[in-house]
């Protein structure tokens, strides 16, 4: 864990009493994952050490919350919602298009290591259905086939 | 006959409109900035309260008069809830804003955070003053990352302006507010799961009692309210509880945001005066898309029962109006389905959601939601028998009321209501092995 990451985690720690470091575990794991793309066993250990937590408690959190990845998800993880509001706005067309174009199924990574496709639950933005996020942070709404093609082009 | 006459009178007398309270900055330039909020009188209420040292009990009374009910789904009266917090407790007390909206069809809190974050912050400061809490958290759904980042900035701006921190505006009152984020677990919207999550654990709901007001974050008294609930507070304090109440109907005071999604021309958030007829809101949302006919509506999110078109068409949108037709306001997450919708497919997706999101602590929920999903999936794949419909009902009824948190009941609700109203569609699907839609 480099100094930059430590600083980011320290900022999160300030939100909690000094004897409650564990409270920052979700934020710390998110910061690590952002930096590395996914969480390895070593990353989990580092977070445990930094927050004075048993490794198993950190692992529990990393496996409970769906946005954490314990395996490589390529350079760009595309998480697409298929829940009811998106389903009603034909998210299945977008999913099929992506699967065909990228030649992968859900939870697979393209051969060049660039894209991974994840099926996701409701993201709380159903007015913009269908929608997806890139690497947990950037949301793209009101998708259609053209927009998806454009997006894939932009993700270098 | 009498019924018909009554209904007409009711509709004639009804002059409910869209009216923005929580979203009142949304049509202004730079709606989310502190400057914009202050230009419409923002932060004046907390200034007035602190300057005059207004008695918290007086403020609670005003909120009780307003009729404000929790907007997170359960509809519990906010004024009453706030009076449960022990005022004379010696030590840190917490207040939490629940912005973890992840129930399918819910997307109102995101717009409050995007377009009117400072009204939410002022609402929380007023809440902290009333409940005498020193620390607050806004727990934001992990998937709306950009809103999390923008809310952190809003907090920073409020702090720079002197509304957060120690000795706020020289009053001696201290309140610190932090944004925290989830990371993809619907169950963390349940208030005790949310508290566990803030403590850095898996989001598994706690047994109640003890309630958060006595044993919350780190075992300290804690109050949890929905984003929209908090955002309503500054307006109520400014205009008075009665004025807020007047925007709605008796027992359903004020305005409420309905998030309309699915088969309408203009999906989006509509803040309505409670008591508005359903057909009026449907028209505001541009009507059913593609000139199709309405089939069914889930009025308040999947934990509220689905209602067929002919029944919802004459309903009004308020706590009693929706209760009368066997459903409820929930979080105001209105999912509209047109005539082409296959109810088996819709229920299959909802059942999968609850199965996927069950935290796994209670056997009826953990096992039951999986069972339910597999049966609906079997129907969808044309491999079910008619007996499966009774099995489905039976399993769902055995989840309800036998679990630690309300996710179990929520999972049973779509199953029971879909089968109640659309039984023949399910039977036809089973008989023919496919949708006849
Ligand atoms: C499974 C489940 C999910 C929930 N999700 C949310 C949520 O996302 N947002 C919310 O405000 N309340 C949610 N609630 C309700 C909360 O437990 C709590 O009642 C609410 O935040 C209280 O605030 P209010 O009184 O202002 O409505 C959920 C409840 C359950 C059982
Ligand atoms: S009802 Fe379901 S989600 Fe709630 S505590 Fe039990 S297992 Fe967990």
pLDDT per 10-residue tile (average), chain B, 437 residues: 42 80 97 98 98 97 98 96 92 97 97 98 98 98 98 98 97 98 98 98 97 97 98 98 97 97 98 98 98 98 97 97 97 98 98 98 98 98 97 97 96 98 97 89
Omega prior to A80 cis, within 30 of 0: no
A70 CB neighbour count, 10 Å cutoff:
15
The token pair that represents B166 in the structure block: 């120690």
pLDDT in single tens digits along all 156 residues of chain A = 899 999 999 999 999 999 999 999 999 999 999 999 999 999 999 999 999 999 999 999 999 999 999 999 999 999 999 999 999 999 999 999 999 999 999 999 999 999 999 999 999 999 999 999 999 999 999 999 999 999 999 998
DSSP state of B141: -
Nearest to B233 by CA among B69, B16, B27, B25: B69
Beta bridge partners of B249: B252
| Long-range contacts at B205-210 (CB < 8 A, ≥ 24 apart) | B205/B359, B205/B361, B205/B404, B205/B405, B205/B407, B206/B404, B207/B404
Give kind and range of the element (H or E) at residue B370.
helix B363-380
pLDDT of residue B13: 55
What count of CB pairs under 8 Å joins A to B?
154
B176-181/B255-262 β-pairing: unpaired
Which of B76, B94, B98 most suits a substitution to test ligand 1, by most atoms within 8 Å of the C-beta? Answer: B98
What whole-number distance in Å separates Cα of residue B294 and Cα of residue B288? 6
- Which atom in ligand 1 lies closest to the alpha carbon of residue B106? 8
What whole-number distance in Å separates Cα of residue A134 and Cα of residue A139? 7
Q: Minimal Cα–Cα distance from A89 to chain B, Å?
A: 6
For chain A, say whether B339 makes contact (Cβ under 8 Å).
no
For residue B370, give every residue at least 6 positions away whose Cβ sits within 8 Å of its Cβ, in sequence order, or none: B355
pLDDT digits (tens, 9 = 90+) for B4-21: 444 444 445 568 999 999
The token pair that represents B219 in the structure block: 């075992």
What whole-number distance in Å separates Cα of residue B190 and Cα of residue B82? 18
pLDDT of residue B87: 83
For residue B298, give every residue at least 6 positions away whose Cβ sits within 8 Å of its Cβ, in sequence order, or none: B105, B304, B305, B306, B307, B333, B334, B335, B337, B414
| Pocket of ligand 2 contains residue B369 by CB under 6 Å | no
- Which atom in ligand 1 lies closest to the alpha carbon of residue B191? 17
Residue B283 CA: distances (Å) to CA of B13, B248, B261, B271: 18, 19, 13, 14
ipTM over 0.90: yes
Q: Minimal Cα–Cα distance from B375 to chain A, Å?
A: 18
Question: Quick check: B373 and B388 in contact, CB under 8 A?
Answer: no
What whole-number distance in Å separates Cα of residue B329 and Cα of residue B103? 13
**Predicted TM-score (pTM) of this structure:** 0.96
The token pair that represents B350 in the structure block: 């909802």
What whole-number distance in Å separates Cα of residue B230 and Cα of residue B2? 41
Q: Concatenate the DSSP letters of all residues of B81-95 into one string.
A: HHHTS-TT-SS--EE
């Amino acid at each position: 864990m480099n100094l930059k990451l430590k600083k980011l985690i320290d900022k999160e720690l300030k939100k909690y009493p000094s004897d409650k470091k564990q409270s920052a575990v979700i934020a710390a794991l998110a910061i690590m994952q952002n930096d590395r793309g996914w969480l390895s066993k070593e990353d989990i250990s580092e977070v445990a050490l930094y927050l004075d937590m048993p490794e198993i408690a950190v692992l529990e959190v990393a496996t409970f919350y769906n946005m954490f990845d314990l395996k490589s998800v390529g350079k760009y993880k595309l998480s697409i919602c298929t829940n009811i509001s998106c389903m009603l706005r034909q998210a299945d067309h977008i999913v099929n298009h992506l699967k065909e174009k990228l030649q992968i199924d859900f939870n697979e990574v393209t051969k060049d290591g660039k894209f991974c496709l994840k099926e996701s639950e409701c993201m709380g933005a159903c007015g913009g259905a269908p929608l997806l996020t890139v690497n947990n942070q950037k949301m793209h709404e009101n998708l259609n086939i053209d927009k998806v093609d454009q997006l894939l082009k932009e993700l270098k | 006959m009498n019924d018909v006459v009554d209904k007409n009178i009711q509709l004639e007398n009804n002059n409910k409109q869209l009216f923005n309270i929580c979203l009142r900055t949304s049509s202004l330039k730079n709606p989310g900035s502190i400057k914009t909020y202050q230009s419409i009188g923002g932060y004046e209420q907390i200034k007035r309260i602190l300057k005059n040292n207004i008695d918290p009990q007086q403020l609670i009374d005003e909120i009780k008069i307003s009729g404000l009910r929790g907007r997170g789904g359960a509809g519990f009266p906010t004024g009453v809830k706030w009076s449960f917090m022990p005022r004379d407790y010696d030590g840190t007390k917490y207040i939490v804003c629940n912005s973890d909206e992840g129930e399918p069809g819910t997307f109102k809190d995101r717009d409050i955070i995007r377009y009117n974050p400072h009204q939410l912050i002022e609402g929380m400061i007023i809440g902290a003053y009333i409940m005498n809490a020193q620390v607050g958290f806004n727990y934001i759904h992990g998937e709306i990352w950009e809103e999390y980042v923008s809310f952190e900035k809003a907090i920073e701006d409020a702090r720079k302006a002197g509304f957060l921190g120690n000795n706020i505006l020289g009053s001696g009152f201290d309140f610190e507010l932090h944004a925290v984020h989830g990371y993809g677990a619907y169950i963390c919207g349940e208030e005790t799961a949310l508290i566990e999550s803030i403590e850095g654990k898996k989001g598994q709901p706690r047994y109640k009692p003890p309630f958060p007001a006595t044993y919350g974050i780190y075992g300290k008294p804690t109050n949890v309210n929905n984003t929209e609930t908090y955002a309503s507070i500054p307006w109520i304090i400014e205009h008075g509880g009665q004025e807020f109440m007047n925007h709605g109907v008796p027992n359903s005071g004020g305005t409420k945001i309905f998030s309309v999604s699915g088969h309408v021309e203009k999906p989006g958030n509509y803040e309505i005066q409670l008591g508005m007829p359903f057909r009026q809101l449907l028209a505001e949302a541009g009507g059913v898309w593609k000139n199709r006919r309405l089939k069914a509506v889930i009025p308040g999110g999947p934990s509220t029962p689905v209602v067929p078109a002919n029944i919802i068409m004459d309903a009004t949108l308020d706590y009693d109006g929706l209760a009368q037709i066997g459903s409820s306001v929930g979080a105001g997450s209105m999912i509209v389905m047109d005539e082409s919708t296959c109810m088996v497919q819709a229920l299959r997706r909802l059942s999968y959601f609850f199965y996927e999101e069950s935290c796994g602590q209670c056997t009826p929920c953990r096992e039951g939601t999986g069972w339910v999903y597999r049966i609906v999936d079997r129907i969808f794949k044309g491999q079910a028998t008619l007996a499966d419909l009774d099995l489905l009902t039976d399993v769902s009824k055995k989840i309800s009321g036998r679990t630690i948190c309300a996710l179990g009941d929520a999972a049973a609700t779509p199953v029971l209501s879909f089968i109640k109203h659309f039984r023949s569609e399910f039977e036809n699907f089973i008989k023919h092995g496919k949708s006849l839609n």
